[in-house]
Amino acid sequence: MVGMTAILRGRDWTRADRDALPDDGRRYEVVDGALIVTPSPSPLHQIVLVGLFRQLDRACPAHLILRPAPLDVVLDDRTVVQPDLLVARRDRLDHRGVQGRPELAVEILSPSTQAVDRNLKLDRYQRAQTPGYWLIDPDTLTLTAYELTGGHLRQTAQVTAGESWTATIPYQVTLTPAAWLD
């Protein structure tokens, strides 16, 4: 990402407040009433996103949707996030976004977002009982997978650029991080 992520506190932001903001190319998310403003992603971020999307799209079953950001995931009125990539049940999608938890949320890390992605979002997806959460480091092409076990998102895999890994959540698909740059 180019620039820095800002977390604005001091008032209780809601989805309605966020929706009233201008469409200026930034990503606006609300987490527990705090507004998170993220700048546009870097070219490498987008290359990795498209590569991962292609691998996931080939195996996505018909009852699920695979979508890149920006698409709102409404966990509650005070928590509306936009993961870089998500898989959700079709019946959770409406004209305003995904209502409730996704089956999988994916965040591609950057220096300006990694603290939020590794801590705050991991916690909120866990609270929402999201079955899968993946963090991707685009510089090293490393995927860290978390799966919901006993009510907690626990790390279940770490896959590096030269490896292949078969995910089972949200569906079975084999991923090869090195191919994300093709």
pLDDT at residue 62, as a whole number:
97
Nearest to 144 by CA among 135, 153, 152: 135
User: What are the backbone angles phi and psi of residue 154, rounded to the nearest 5°?
Assistant: -120, 140
Q: DSSP alpha helices (H): ranges in the chain?
A: 15-19, 43-57, 114-115, 122-127
- What value does the mean pLDDT of the chain take? 93
Residue 170 exposure: Cα atoms within 13 Å on the Cβ side: 26
pLDDT at residue 1, as a whole number:
42
pLDDT at residue 112, as a whole number:
83
SS3 at position 109 = coil
Nearest to 109 by CA among 74, 84, 126: 84
Q: DSSP alpha helices (H): ranges in 63-154?
A: 114-115, 122-127
**CATH class held by domain 41-181:** alpha beta
pTM for the complete prediction?
0.91
From the CB of residue 123, how many other CB atoms can be counted at a distance below 10 Å? 13
- CA separation (Å) from 158 to 98, 130, 153? 27, 19, 14
Report the percent of the chain where pLDDT is more than 90.
74
